[in-house]
Structure 1
């Protein structure tokens, strides 16, 4: 085999794979199409629900004689020292290569939603915090760091980013998303993909597509999205991450849309993804998603039928472990029930990707190339920068923040002294360690209480928990009120506990009926504000919560979305004034807890009006955030031109820091389409620019708008640019437009193809 053409790295990858496939048996080809989850429990108490029911029995030594497509979560299943884990993974790869005729290793994949999900690895802020930062360049750096850590441990593929657009904030996985706007999700998500892929790791886009639109905000519920919502809201982030990020893998969603499960939808996974968008990588199943075609969706009557439906739709790899693509598929092919051409098609895609990764090369070795430090000083510094940029100052009406350095401060609340308050559900401590209570955290995570004491050493800081995150017990209220009454200011630290499948208040499978604060935290906040002592509310959450109940009653409101292991010092820095807050809301904060779903992307009929007594206007809109310094926007350049439906137009202004400290502003560009052939959102984000300025400094921001950005899906399903009036609004949030450029598009309706422009280019230039 060492002299065979498929071993020759000088040959084109396609020629190498064709030669290899010609030598492989049906069993060997099929073996490339599934993963194995070594060490995963089969007794029903695993990481994922239904794990035991959806796992087929196998003999490892016999199985690997045919080869193996993937190894599932060697690091993310149980606590293991990273160096020892890398050695164990290398041993497994050696066994795989020695057992099979061709010596082809498996692709090792891991979760990396907010960092490498491994014991001792950096726990970064969750993606919702990335969205709050409005800084794709920093997120691209994050992707590079995570990718390097994955590669150092022998991992080839990362199951991230999540590109679902929030449609209902009651959904438990909101913390895993980047926000409620497809342009923000697409630009930030594509940046993460670029970073991960630049480190040689295959980025896996999920969940394709529609998962976040599940009915009633229930995890894995049917999707009720219409054709235009799907085309104009759900799909664009995936398109951007593929075209601009270069992602090499896509994960099919669990859900069904209008009765068709994504995992069995050839129009989605083949016609759109491959034939229209030109994707050439691999499509992988979400965990147990192929088996769910039989057990949950009931569009297949057996594992073999499920395998056939998924393969025909375009799923190349069954994850996480063997169920449908093993013996049931082999028997169905031999019986003539499944065409072998489907096996060949999927195996070719898998082997082409392995060729890209160097896994077909003779000199490939599984051994780690150097020391493994998954929580380096550089990682922690990056985690701190991300956390600091993501903190959103929602309100500070009377200047209660920054806190006085010598103040008497009562810190109250169930999230103040808990390190896990900083972490999302896909961090290793929240995802895995809860089942290993005797194992240490593996990383240093300062609590907000400890960080605030370090930040303000001259302050007199007292603490009372007040209540649990979700328990109804109110017996701690009296102590909390007493501590507050003795203080100059109360810092109420409330929010979520991330978990999985009902074991938390936020996270996968932790959906809620409304947006009230969990447990009795709202009642605790009522008791604190009743003391008359100024109360600064700090929220450490995975979703927005309704805050209208306390509008006008709080001294300040600070929102942090699970800010990671450095989140405590970051939030404490905002409270002390060391950090000037610059985060902006990636999701609207509602005024009332019911009346969901609601995002800012509403046509006029979805806005407040006289036809209903219910006002859905948020308390704090998408894009909102305050600062400790002041910015003015001046010298706006925006005429009223006529341009063709294939034209472009520049709009610009100068941002000046008129305050006495450094800070960052976020200029946002929204599109308003007054008249269209279908209803359109009143405004939607089409560009943004983060601008950091020293006191007195100014910079000019220019947005280069192209008419492609005004396109939408018309009644016939075409993506078109229509002639007529448009408004470009430069705004501080979706509800705070400061300057407007009115355009008129002339010419014919123009239909767009897959080569359309996806982003609004921006330019920053100095101002003397």
Structure 2
């Protein structure tokens, strides 16, 4: 007889509640637990404190009689051939489901920040490159493909996207973030969530919250956040991805906010997330985040105390391995029931409670890098390359030139790959292991792109010099960018400034190509470089994408998701700054960037007609539509990116001078035109006032239609009328942009 928890006609919550009522406390606790098989083996070194904590974590055999909540990284811990990985995971799931009296399998989770982090899987560009595309639809397609590949091998949950808004690009995890603007991060991140979850994979929003605002940009450092910065800059991307994207899991951050660690923050994880935002999914700890309440934050006296703090705050699952959430340690039953019900509900939604459930198996070879995924990786890479400068008109390059290719990253595969790609995350611990995928370097791609060019080693004999600089990604000090690889300043690492100086002094025109995980200060060469191209770890197809932009085969259409500074000092990013933080007030430091947020050039040219506004006066609960015609006046096809910024002349608290509220990519053939419609809701003018309420106020506003945050083509004055209006979670968070 089918029991209610097995009845697929009942709602998931009801089925989970029925199962919960049949469980012992030990079985409930096991559903909050995880096991990381292989974490203590040689060559598995992918998380801070991994080996220290692994020795004290619960093992699978001890949990089998009770069940298991999560299985950690069955593909992403050590190299495994894909078909063999499917078979191993299926065997593990049979062991897990066969070991407990309800026959419950575990949720298998993996990293998927730059694609499925598994050997031989497609490597996509890093999230900072997603931001540079300004193309949510493409990111949805990418995430769908990633999700389909994961689901096909038995994975249920992906630990992505990262929705941290960059506040100081010295932070090593800048490459994992989407950008420095909350609207861009929110819209691109939501697109990723929608794609991943449409494939049946649970998306996990991280890191909630304030991780990127750490002091001096140091990993895990406290975040000095005021309530308005938290509310208006840090939190909106999470809110958008939950409300509009329907994300089903959230991961707290390692940092504390004003002394309270996120893993023990009831106001964040319960009052805001659950009660105000009505989130019903699971909160999974960052790796060892519960243990760190005891070991690092020093707010818990022992593992049990850490578990109780985390549970009370709203953490449901301890990842990557059970150490504090132990079936042998009595936990408060009301908190235990609350968390276990959420986990069981998610398992039900994933089909893991259905009668006759069987693990995924493979009948033959498993291809994690098929042609359609490589094509998607190529499209994302191509759209993400940013042409920063072309003052001398040397780009695009013509074939047949004598090209001096210099710089330590010109022929370096690592320059293409972010820190959460399998080759840089796991593969580096396995010397001699083949990459498993084809990752052409820029030098290799250029030789294919320009077959008649002569690549010369002597600058004196060259027509032009390509100086390739930037980062090698890594983790915890094994690179210049990546988790735990924070920078003291924004000077190019590895002595690359001297490489550029030497190239500039040669008298040969120099094109600077930056392949990096963060922006670096380039003001030292402003006006001296013939051209500058920026790509943010563009993935396995990145070499061809950058080479295509240099040759002109690809028209550059990427836009900066983070400003490029002029000077290497660690000043905060100037974008989203109030007037007092900008240049012009008494200070010897000029924070004006060399290239501002949203900047990017094309090989074509565009003209923007005067905009028309339906209603320049609108109520505080209304909206208005602005229309603008964009024309391609160049001699080749290209893509313009129309950006809409909001300027609020007077507020009750200091406000950013401008902030992004809408954008649209406008691809046009030579001589063609298109009309861009932007419907701006007054809700987008809301901000958190002095009393902590988010309000829309009557008064003057200005929409700035721009090619970047600093290059304004047109302004549209608006007037909001009516009463001050408080808005909450139901507010409109998007400007609808249509291209006709």
User: Where on the TM-score scale, by shorter chain, does this alignment land: which range?
Assistant: over 0.9
Structure 1 portions without partners, runs of 5+: 464-482
Query: Which residue does 2:200 correspond to in 1?
Result: 200
Alpha-carbon distance between aligned partners in 1 of 2:169 and 2:456, rounded to the nearest angstrom: 34
Query: Which residue does 2:420 correspond to in 1?
Result: 426
The 8 Å contact of residues 29 and 343 in structure 1, kept in 2 or not, is answered as: yes
Query: Which residue does 1:85 correspond to in 2?
Result: 85
Query: Which residue does 2:123 correspond to in 1?
Result: 123
Q: SS of the counterpart of 1:205?
A: strand
Q: Using the TM superposition, name which of 229-238 and 364-373 deviates more.
A: 364-373
The 8 Å contact of residues 75 and 110 in structure 1, kept in 2 or not, is answered as: yes
Work out whether 1:244 is the aligned partner of 2:237: no
Query: Which residue does 1:566 correspond to in 2?
Result: 541
Query: Which residue does 2:386 correspond to in 1?
Result: 392
Structure 2 portions without partners, runs of 5+: none
Query: Which residue does 2:276 correspond to in 1?
Result: 276
CA RMSD of aligned residues (A): 1.2
Q: SS of the counterpart of 2:37?
A: coil
Query: Which residue does 2:345 correspond to in 1?
Result: 352
Q: SS of the counterpart of 1:733?
A: coil
Alpha-carbon distance between aligned partners in 2 of 1:700 and 1:321, rounded to the nearest angstrom: 53
Q: Using the TM superposition, name which of 585-594 and 21-30 deviates more.
A: 21-30
Map 1:258-277 to 2 at 5 A. Answer: 258-277=258-277
The 8 Å contact of residues 285 and 319 in structure 1, kept in 2 or not, is answered as: yes
Q: CA deviation at 1:369?
A: 5.5
Q: CA deviation at 1:610?
A: 3.4
Query: Which residue does 1:543 correspond to in 2?
Result: 518
The 8 Å contact of residues 120 and 374 in structure 1, kept in 2 or not, is answered as: yes
Alpha-carbon distance between aligned partners in 2 of 1:290 and 1:500, rounded to the nearest angstrom: 21
Task: Describe the shift of the 1:43–1:421 C-alpha distance in structure 2 as closer, same or farther (beyond 3 A).
Answer: closer
Q: SS of the counterpart of 1:65?
A: coil
Q: CA deviation at 1:507?
A: 0.2
Work out whether 1:286 is the aligned partner of 2:280: no
Q: SS of the counterpart of 1:66?
A: coil
Query: Which residue does 1:21 correspond to in 2?
Result: 20
Q: 1:719 aligns with which of 694, 699, 712?
A: 694
Offset from partner CA, 1:70-111 (integer Å, 9 cap, x none): 000001100100110011000000001111100000000000
Query: Which residue does 1:406 correspond to in 2?
Result: 400
Q: CA deviation at 1:595?
A: 4.2
Query: Which residue does 2:647 correspond to in 1?
Result: 672
Q: CA deviation at 1:11?
A: 2.1
Q: Using the TM superposition, name which of 655-664 and 39-48 deviates more.
A: 39-48
Q: CA deviation at 1:246?
A: 1.0
Query: Which residue does 2:429 correspond to in 1?
Result: 435
Q: SS of the counterpart of 1:53?
A: helix
Work out whether 1:75 is the aligned partner of 2:75: yes
Q: Using the TM superposition, name which of 626-635 and 232-241 deviates more.
A: 626-635
The 8 Å contact of residues 168 and 599 in structure 1, kept in 2 or not, is answered as: no
Query: Which residue does 1:475 correspond to in 2?
Result: none
Q: CA deviation at 1:647?
A: 1.5
Q: 2:370 aligns with which of 376, 380, 400?
A: 376
Alpha-carbon distance between aligned partners in 2 of 1:439 and 1:45, rounded to the nearest angstrom: 14
The 8 Å contact of residues 394 and 559 in structure 1, kept in 2 or not, is answered as: yes
The 8 Å contact of residues 44 and 50 in structure 1, kept in 2 or not, is answered as: no
Q: SS of the counterpart of 1:649?
A: strand
Task: Describe the shift of the 1:639–1:344 C-alpha distance in structure 2 as closer, same or farther (beyond 3 A).
Answer: closer
Q: CA deviation at 1:382?
A: 0.5
Alpha-carbon distance between aligned partners in 2 of 1:572 and 1:711, rounded to the nearest angstrom: 43
Query: Which residue does 2:34 correspond to in 1?
Result: 35
Q: CA deviation at 1:9?
A: 1.0
Alpha-carbon distance between aligned partners in 2 of 1:196 and 1:341, rounded to the nearest angstrom: 33
Alpha-carbon distance between aligned partners in 2 of 1:373 and 1:448, rounded to the nearest angstrom: 26
Alpha-carbon distance between aligned partners in 1 of 2:673 and 2:198, rounded to the nearest angstrom: 33
Q: CA deviation at 1:69?
A: 0.3
The 8 Å contact of residues 669 and 686 in structure 1, kept in 2 or not, is answered as: yes
Q: SS of the counterpart of 1:52?
A: helix
Map 1:689-768 to 2 at 5 A. Answer: 689-765=664-740
Q: CA deviation at 1:45?
A: 6.8
The 8 Å contact of residues 43 and 52 in structure 1, kept in 2 or not, is answered as: no
The 8 Å contact of residues 603 and 681 in structure 1, kept in 2 or not, is answered as: yes
Alpha-carbon distance between aligned partners in 1 of 2:244 and 2:11, rounded to the nearest angstrom: 24
Query: Which residue does 1:470 correspond to in 2?
Result: none
Alpha-carbon distance between aligned partners in 2 of 1:344 and 1:567, rounded to the nearest angstrom: 48
Query: Which residue does 1:477 correspond to in 2?
Result: none
Offset from partner CA, 1:721-747 (integer Å, 9 cap, x none): 011110000000000111001111111
Query: Which residue does 2:50 correspond to in 1?
Result: 51
Alpha-carbon distance between aligned partners in 2 of 1:121 and 1:52, rounded to the nearest angstrom: 26
Work out whether 1:631 is the aligned partner of 2:630: no
The 8 Å contact of residues 64 and 96 in structure 2, kept in 1 or not, is answered as: yes
Query: Which residue does 2:140 correspond to in 1?
Result: 140
Work out whether 1:591 is the aligned partner of 2:566: yes
Work out whether 1:518 is the aligned partner of 2:493: yes
Work out whether 1:500 is the aligned partner of 2:485: no
Alpha-carbon distance between aligned partners in 2 of 1:543 and 1:76, rounded to the nearest angstrom: 25
Q: CA deviation at 1:356?
A: 0.3
The 8 Å contact of residues 595 and 616 in structure 1, kept in 2 or not, is answered as: no
Map 1:153-302 to 2 at 5 A. Answer: 153-302=153-302
Alpha-carbon distance between aligned partners in 1 of 2:733 and 2:562, rounded to the nearest angstrom: 21
Q: CA deviation at 1:43?
A: 8.2
Q: CA deviation at 1:639?
A: 7.5
Q: Using the TM superposition, name which of 589-598 and 203-212 deviates more.
A: 589-598
Q: Using the TM superposition, name which of 61-70 and 417-426 deviates more.
A: 61-70
Map 1:603-642 to 2 at 5 A. Answer: 603-638=578-613, 641-642=616-617
Q: CA deviation at 1:12?
A: 2.2
In the superposition, the TM-score normalised over structure 1's length comes to 0.95
Q: CA deviation at 1:44?
A: 11
Offset from partner CA, 1:496-549 (integer Å, 9 cap, x none): 000000110000000000000002100110001100000001000000000000
Alpha-carbon distance between aligned partners in 1 of 2:223 and 2:300, rounded to the nearest angstrom: 19
Work out whether 1:114 is the aligned partner of 2:108: no
Alpha-carbon distance between aligned partners in 2 of 1:416 and 1:262, rounded to the nearest angstrom: 41
Query: Which residue does 1:471 correspond to in 2?
Result: none
Q: CA deviation at 1:372?
A: 2.2
In the superposition, the TM-score normalised over structure 2's length comes to 0.98
Q: 1:416 aligns with which of 410, 416, 433?
A: 410
The 8 Å contact of residues 35 and 58 in structure 2, kept in 1 or not, is answered as: no
The 8 Å contact of residues 180 and 599 in structure 1, kept in 2 or not, is answered as: no
Alpha-carbon distance between aligned partners in 2 of 1:639 and 1:689, rounded to the nearest angstrom: 19
Alpha-carbon distance between aligned partners in 1 of 2:301 and 2:476, rounded to the nearest angstrom: 27
Work out whether 1:487 is the aligned partner of 2:462: yes
Alpha-carbon distance between aligned partners in 2 of 1:43 and 1:133, rounded to the nearest angstrom: 39
Alpha-carbon distance between aligned partners in 2 of 1:113 and 1:75, rounded to the nearest angstrom: 14
Q: SS of the counterpart of 2:110?
A: strand
Q: CA deviation at 1:59?
A: 4.6
Alpha-carbon distance between aligned partners in 2 of 1:109 and 1:59, rounded to the nearest angstrom: 17
Q: SS of the counterpart of 1:9?
A: coil
Q: SS of the counterpart of 1:285?
A: coil
Alpha-carbon distance between aligned partners in 2 of 1:146 and 1:622, rounded to the nearest angstrom: 28
Alpha-carbon distance between aligned partners in 1 of 2:58 and 2:708, rounded to the nearest angstrom: 55
Offset from partner CA, 1:9-49 (integer Å, 9 cap, x none): 12222221122111111111100001100011178972212
Alpha-carbon distance between aligned partners in 2 of 1:568 and 1:53, rounded to the nearest angstrom: 38
Q: CA deviation at 1:671?
A: 0.2
Alpha-carbon distance between aligned partners in 2 of 1:273 and 1:546, rounded to the nearest angstrom: 38
Alpha-carbon distance between aligned partners in 1 of 2:282 and 2:13, rounded to the nearest angstrom: 15
Query: Which residue does 2:355 correspond to in 1?
Result: 362
Q: SS of the counterpart of 1:54?
A: helix
Alpha-carbon distance between aligned partners in 1 of 2:427 and 2:133, rounded to the nearest angstrom: 28
Q: CA deviation at 1:599?
A: 3.6
